[in-house]
């Protein structure tokens, strides 16, 4: 089994975080994501290598409301459950700090369905136009989702079905072998204790 950990990043992780963000057309410093403080995110690390990052924000003027920011996993590790572990870490941390409502925006219908099925999100009915090339360039707007703490239900029983189905589909496509990303072993995740950040 792969050794995998969710932890807080350090400044030394920043170059690797930027590489991962660029893989999915995310970047920091533009109109879509002006800031991405390391104190407000987690990284997924497998065998000593950072393979994913997930950020969040708790609104200072409305501390019972939070928002997820960027979530990205390096291509070879997309089916390792790293995204699930990162997302759990960030929303459970926000809930532990008194957040009752979490918003997120996404542009991929498969991921939106995953958020709803696994975590209990639901669409708000709002879409938000993108301000720059960000994420999927074929989708000009974000779909806004909401998760209420009272509705949060991490559905572990659904996780295996989602990833097993994806592996089977990828493996049987045109009778060829699945790409390396799908053949990675599932990781067993541990979460470091959450340090307090000022």
Residue 20: per-residue pLDDT? 96
Residue 178: per-residue pLDDT? 30
Pull the structure tokens for residue 108: 């991929």
Structure confidence at residue 139 as a pLDDT band (50, 70, 90):
very high
Average pLDDT over residues 110-117: 91
**Which of 35-49, 83-97, 136-150, 157-171 is least confident?**
157-171
Tell me how far apart the 2 most distant CA atoms of the chain are, in Å.
54
Structure confidence at residue 180 as a pLDDT band (50, 70, 90):
very low
- pLDDT over 90 (residue 23): yes
Report how far Cα 57 is from the mean position of its chain's Cα atoms.
13
Residue 154: per-residue pLDDT? 73
Say how many C-beta atoms besides its own lie within 10 A of residue 78's C-beta: 21
Pull the structure tokens for residue 74: 């390096």
Residue 78: per-residue pLDDT? 84
- pLDDT over 70 (residue 163): no
DSSP 8-state symbol, 31: S
Read off the pLDDT of residues 33-65 as tens digits, 9 standing for 90 and up: 999 999 999 999 998 999 999 999 999 999 999
What residue spans define the domains of the chain?
Answer: 2-191
What distance in Å separates the CA atoms of residue 45 and residue 53, rounded to the nearest whole number? 9
- pLDDT over 60 (residue 169): no
Q: What is the CATH number of domain 2-191?
A: 3.40.630.30
C-alpha closest to that of 114 among 65, 55, 154: 154
Average pLDDT over residues 22-26: 94
C-alpha closest to that of 41 among 30, 26, 31: 26
Residue 11: per-residue pLDDT? 95
Average pLDDT over residues 135-154: 93
């Amino acid at each position: 089994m792969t050794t995998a950990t969710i932890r807080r990043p350090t400044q030394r992780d920043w170059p690797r975080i930027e590489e991962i963000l660029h893989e999915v057309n995310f970047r920091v410093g533009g109109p879509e994501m002006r800031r991405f403080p390391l104190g407000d995110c987690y990284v997924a690390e497998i065998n000593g290598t950072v393979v994913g990052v997930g950020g969040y924000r708790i609104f200072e003027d409305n501390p019972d409301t939070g928002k997820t920011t960027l979530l990205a996993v390096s291509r070879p590790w997309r089916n390792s459950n790293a995204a699930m572990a990162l997302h759990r870490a960030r929303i459970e941390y926000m809930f532990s700090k008194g957040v009752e409502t979490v918003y997120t925006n996404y542009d991929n219908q498969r991921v939106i369905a995953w958020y709803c099925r696994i975590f209990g999100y639901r669409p708000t009915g709002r879409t938000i136009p993108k301000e720059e090339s960000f994420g999927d360039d074929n989708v000009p707007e974000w779909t806004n989702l909401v998760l209420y703490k009272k509705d949060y239900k991490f559905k572990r029983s659904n996780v295996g079905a989602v990833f097993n189905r994806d592996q089977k589909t990828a493996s049987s496509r045109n009778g060829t072998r699945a790409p390396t990303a799908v053949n990675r072993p599932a990781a067993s995740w541990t979460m470091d204790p959450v340090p307090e950040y000022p």
